[in-house]
Amino acid sequence: MNIDTTKLFAAAAILLAAGLVCGGVRAAETPPAPPATLFRHVTVVPMDRERTVPDQSVLVVDGKIAAIGAHLPAPNAVREIDGRGGYLVPGLADMHVHSSNSRDLAVFLANGVTTVLNMGGASAEFVDQVAPAVNSGKRPGPHVYLALRIDGTPEYGQLVVASPAEAVAVVALAKSNRYDFIKVYNNLAPDVFAVLAQEASRQGVPLVGHGVTRVGVERQLAAGQVMVAHLEEYLYTAFFPPDAKVGAAAPPDSAIPAAVAFTKRSGAYITADLFTYATIAEQFGRPDVVEAYMRRPDWAWLDPEMRIAWRGAGYDKRTGSLSNRAAFLGRFARALSDAGVPLIAGTDAPAIPGSYPGASLRADLYALHAAGLSNFAALSTATRTPGEMMARTRQEPCFGVIAVGCRADLLLLRDNPLTDLRALEARDGVMAAGVWRDRQETDALLDKVANTYRSILSERP
């Protein structure tokens, strides 16, 4: 049912105010950053291209990289970190999450994730208070970008936009509430999408999101949508008709070049979520798989609300198989990468059973490497390419590479991830917003979260 603009704003206010209180790790727990931090004797992995630079010093001042060199003088009141034998890489970016409390953000940070894009469902408190506090360094967590999620029906719990007039209004709403993007969902009407794309371009609030069933990915990208939120959206709106059944044959590989071509022409960024799709696929008819997720150590850091949601998700009760499509998506991701289409990593964490904050991002990089991407190409999806996307679409400051003037989001590893991506598992510390935390401090963040959940659930350690 159509609503007028006044009602749209009222409904949006109610929607954005909904949700649980975003308690968790408090601002006081973030140590003040010293005037300067100097990393000594590190091998820098800049991620501007495939290379390493041994025995470097990296100076951080006021949250930005101020200097890089072999022999940098130490300024007054500097905190020096001896990184001898270690590899300094950009912090990781998960460009599709649904975390909306400060505890989740602390878990991401402890796992080396220094940037996240919340793709919808965040509460008003998260948008107005938690994200700004984290982004300013007052609370521990990755830098948060925000997308306002909309659809043409209330089927999936989105903000409903059912007419062209409402499309114009929702862009103004997103902009006034400081959202970085508008996320489109499946059921928008074609005329609504067309007006939305025009108005979003005019007001500088880029479109990201799903394939819109009655529009299709190709037309969406031609209209200016800058990012596709799942690789599998191509299955629903480019290769297959909308009513394709689970278990249907994967598209023929001969269909890949045409999809690669129109995507490359658009310049859009594609979320290569191979791990997430494979995780859903392996749950079909397998309650034992879901139970195994719940026995992982990461379970201790999963929000109790999500624990309930995982148990009731229902993927394990479905029949059929997605395995053929999962394999096809791996080949499709490889073809996109080989053609120079910019891929970004995203996990849907923690909305999908098995998608733990932080850990699932590493798993996605491993899946991309298994699909044929080099270590550098896979790691780029969570470092350099997200930084390029935010610079191009939102004129954001530099991040995702180690270069003078870029945001000092850094990860100190014991081994070289360009040789083996599993080096991401052995972290000596992480820096976000210019604040350095060594492994002992990041472990303390995880302990704080786990102890909070034990207290809530009256569990024994």
- CB neighbours (10 Å) of residue 297? 10
Whose structure tokens read 């850990």?
A: 359
Tokens (6 digits) for 122: 């965040």
Asked if 96 and 229 touch (Cβ cutoff 8 Å), the reply is yes
**The pLDDT value given to residue 47:** 98
Average pLDDT over residues 302-320: 93
Query: What average pLDDT does the segment 269-277 reach?
Result: 97
CA angle (73, 74, 77) in 5-degree steps: 160
Q: pLDDT tens for residues 315-325?
A: 999 988 899 99
User: Residue 42: which of 52, 29, 27, 31 has the closest Cα?
Assistant: 52
For the stretch 131-165, pLDDT in tens is 999 999 889 999 999 999 999 999 887 899 999 99
Task: Convert the pLDDT of each residue in 349-385 to its tens digit.
Answer: 999 999 999 999 999 999 999 999 999 999 999 999 9
- pLDDT of 19-63, one tens digit each? 333 344 443 455 555 579 999 999 999 999 999 999 999 999 999
Non-local CB neighbours of 129 within 8 Å, separated by 6+ positions: 22
What residue ranges define each of the domains in the chain, with the CATH number in brackets? 5-28+87-456 (3.20.20.140)
Kindly give the residue spans of alpha helices, DSSP state H, lying in 116-225. Answer: 124-125, 131-135, 164-176, 190-203, 217-222
Strands (E), 33-155: 36-44, 53-61, 64-69, 78-82, 87-90, 92-97, 113-118, 143-151
Give pLDDT tens digits for 86-104.
999 999 999 999 998 999 9
Q: In the predicted model, what is the mean pLDDT of the chain? A: 90
Q: What is the DSSP string of 251-300?
A: PPGGGHHHHHHHHHHHT-EEE--HHHHHHHHHHTT-HHHHHHHTTSGGGG
